[in-house]
A and B are shown apart, each in its own frame.
Chain A
Amino acid sequence: MSATRVTRRWQKLPGKNTFCCDGRVMMARQKGVFYLTVALITGTCALFFGFECPYLAVRLSPAIPVFGVLLFLFVMAVLLRTSFSDPGVLPRALPDEATFIEMEIEAVNGNVPAGQRPPPRIRNVEINNQIVKLKYCYTCKIFRPPRASHCSICDNCVDRFDHHCPWVGNCVGRRNYRYFYLFTLSLSLLTIYIFTFDIVHVALRECPQSVTAGSPDTVSWGGQQNVLICFFTLWSVVGLTGFHTYLITLNQTTNEDIKGSWSGKNRVQNPYSHRNIIKNCCEVLCGPTYPSVLDRRGVILEAPPAVTVPTTKSSTPEPQTTKTTAPLIPNEHTPEDTKPSIDAASHKTSPVPEDKKPHPPLGPPLASPDSDTDAAPIQEISQ
């Protein structure tokens, strides 16, 4: 029995994410602004708890720092959950699926004369009596589900893509939108809380009857810093919370809002909205917690080269028979070898009875006919 290196699937995942803690944590590559966010929040709260809370706890109530600590912990918890979780990344199509989709597209488009641009790869679906166009992602080789979009920074298609937030160092998508919203909401509350008590603190110190705890100069310096930081943070964070509250009541994403997808032109309406504010809010905030479909922690066993590589999951003990890869057919055709047979089968069973030329080696097209503001830049390199 030869020694096998344990490689986890996150090490082989395409896309520009960084992974930590052996695949448990998933973030974007640029994390600098995220560290700044953590530093700002921690620093402001440290100033508050260090310089002002001792005085306020004695003068007013000890509940003030206690509630402050709880709020701070909640903010950090939801921030870390937003930053570290999978936003709803859609895994790229495996070669078989990609080929199948290509064949379907060819069947729809028919023969394109040489020199002419092929028509854009779009699939129309009707959702709640509204025609929605599903675009084809040239990087991930899939037709994106409704509301999904490709993030060029992370180079992934993300389900219910909202936006890529550098402040949290991750995309905001279906799986972490509610954490992101709670982060902005709780951060607004924390900022307002600290700002209010800063003002109260300064006001109380102005009173000649107040009993000072600690030297006045350092205390007032700490308070002043806080007031400044909070003042500038307040407008942006509260504004952002307000904007996202508006989006939630309409069941829209930032991406759709920016693109004006449901702005009402040409009688286009949002097919995902329930036309009821409460229902929309409940769906976005209290809906089910979607699982990650990106298997990060599965183990890839690197076997000796004679046998094709089997892949197994370490987490679930399901038998390998549910997988369609090598364990079932150890010395059999690779996907590339089955291509001619798939072509032959499709020629026989294809519903469109036109005579097609043999399957041309469809290299990745150099330009995507439909431009998408979030589409990945042209980096079609075969993996």
Chain B
Amino acid sequence: MATEFHNLQELRHSASLATKVFIQRDYTEGTVCKFQAKFPAELDSRIERSLFEDTVKTLNNYYAEAEKIGGQSYLEGCLACATAYMIFLCMETRYEKVLKKISKYIQEQNEKIYAPRGLLITDPIERGMRVIEISVFEDRGSSGSSSGSSSTSSSSGR
């Protein structure tokens, strides 16, 4: 890798945003929340394909778990209906619990895998569950040979 960051703090202080890659939704199975696991070309030099695909697949699994229609969701629905949905004022829904797990997972992935490579994943919920936004950072002082850096150095040379 041309640029290396050791943690998120370093990323914050020495990086500049080069570009953003948006992973779109995969609608082949209907309206369930699922993201395309296709590896974008812009990340080719930044991260291993398998790591990226693992992240996306795990996220897809989390969303599938949240949206699963089965015994637990029926029970939650019936109980909520019986209480005229007042129970949601004090109880957290299953989806919300899974979203918290997703948030923790993304944070952990950012810290361990993506930030050291100068990348940052944004939680899809902050983008309306439409895209997974991956920000690609470049080291401010670097004039490395990776794809985004020459453009950054041209735009940062003011």
Residues on A facing B (Cβ under 8 Å): 73-74, 77-78, 81, 90-91, 93-94, 96-97, 100-101, 125-128, 132, 134, 142, 145-147, 159-160, 178-179, 182, 271-272, 282-283, 285-291, 293-295, 316, 318-319, 321-324, 327-329, 332-333, 337-338, 340-342, 344-345, 348-349, 351
| A interface footprint on B39-73 (CB within 8 Å = 1, 0 otherwise) | 00110000000000000000000000011110001
Q: Does B77 contact A (CB under 8 A)?
A: yes
Smallest CB gap from B93: residue in A: A289
Total CB contacts across the A-B interface at under 8 A: 169
7 CB < 8 A contacts A-B: A142-B130, A182-B81, A282-B69, A289-B76, A289-B93, A341-B151, A344-B150
> A81-B85, A127-B30 are known contacts. Are A293 and B94 too (CB-CB below 8 A)?
no
> A286-B74, A328-B11, A349-B42 are known contacts. Are A97 and B131 too (CB-CB below 8 A)?
yes
Are A288 and B95 interface neighbours, CB within 8 A?
A: yes
Are A77 and B85 interface neighbours, CB within 8 A?
A: yes
List 7 extra interface pairs beyond A132-B27, A322-B106, A341-B18, CB under 8 A: A96-B133, A178-B77, A288-B68, A319-B8, A324-B133, A340-B155, A341-B155
The number of chain B residues with a CB under 8 A from chain A is 64
- Taking chain A's interface residues, is the majority helix, strand, or loop, or is none over half, making it mixed? mixed
Q: Does B15 contact A (CB under 8 A)?
A: yes
Shortest B33–chain A CB gap in Å is: 9
Interface residue from A145, A178, A293, A329 paired with B25 (Cβ < 8 Å): A145
Residues of B within 8 A of A91 (CB): 127-128
> A145-B27, A288-B94 are known contacts. Are A77 and B84 too (CB-CB below 8 A)?
yes
Interface residue from B81, B93, B106 paired with A291 (Cβ < 8 Å): B93
Residues on B facing A (Cβ under 8 Å): 8, 11-12, 15-20, 22, 25, 27-31, 41-42, 66-69, 73-74, 76-78, 80-81, 84-86, 88, 93-96, 99, 103, 106-107, 110, 115, 120-123, 125-131, 133, 135, 147-148, 150-152, 154-156
Residues of A within 8 A of B29 (CB): 127-128
Are A293 and B129 interface neighbours, CB within 8 A?
A: yes
Residues of B within 8 A of A93 (CB): 130
Interface residue from A90, A146, A272, A323 paired with B126 (Cβ < 8 Å): A323
Residues of B within 8 A of A328 (CB): 11-12, 15, 17, 120
> A288-B69, A324-B120 are known contacts. Are A127 and B27 too (CB-CB below 8 A)?
yes
